[in-house]
C-alpha cells in the first residue's frame, strides 16, 4: 500500500457550509454532471455527490478545482474494492 505521507504528494480539501468545495492536487476531471463529479487526484479518484453541482473555478495547471452546489458525499474510489470499481467503471463507460 502506498503511504501518502512518504510519496510527497499533497491534497487539500476545503468545504464551506456544504455549498463551496475547493480541492487541490487535482490531475484531471474524469466526468461530471449536476449530481456527481469524478476527479483524478494525487491521492486517488475522488467522487463528489450532491445537488446542483457545477464548476466555479478550474485550473488543472495548478491542480485546483472549485465546485459549488449542495455537497452530500465525498468518497475516494478504492481500486482494490471489486464492488466499488465495477460501479465506478460502469458509470465511467455508461
What pLDDT, in 10s, does the model give residues 16-66?
A: 999 999 999 999 999 999 999 999 999 999 999 999 999 999 999 999 999
Is the residue at 14 inside a domain? no
Q: Which pTM does this prediction carry?
A: 0.75
Is the residue at 87 inside a domain? no
Q: Residue 74: which of 14, 27, 9, 31 has the closest Cα?
A: 14
Query: Total structural domains in the chain?
Result: 1
Cβ neighbour number for residue 24 with a 10 Å cutoff: 16
User: Domain range holding 62?
Assistant: 24-77
Is the residue at 17 inside a domain? no
Is the residue at 83 inside a domain? no
pLDDT of 94 strictly over 70: no
For the domain that residue 69 is a member of, what is the CATH number? 2.60.40.2000
Between these two residues, 56 and 90, which has the higher pLDDT value?
56
Is the residue at 2 inside a domain? no
Amino acid at each position: 500500500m502506498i503511504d501518502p505521507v512518504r510519496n510527497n504528494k499533497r491534497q487539500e480539501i476545503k468545504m464551506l457550509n456544504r455549498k463551496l468545495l475547493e480541492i487541490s492536487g487535482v490531475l484531471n476531471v474524469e466526468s461530471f454532471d449536476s449530481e456527481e463529479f469524478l476527479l483524478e487526484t494525487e491521492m486517488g479518484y475522488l467522487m463528489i455527490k450532491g445537488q446542483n453541482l457545477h464548476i466555479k473555478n478550474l485550473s488543472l495547471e495548478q491542480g485546483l478545482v472549485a465546485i459549488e452546489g449542495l455537497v452530500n458525499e465525498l468518497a475516494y474510489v478504492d481500486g482494490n474494492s471489486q464492488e466499488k470499481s465495477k460501479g465506478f467503471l460502469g458509470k465511467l463507460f455508461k
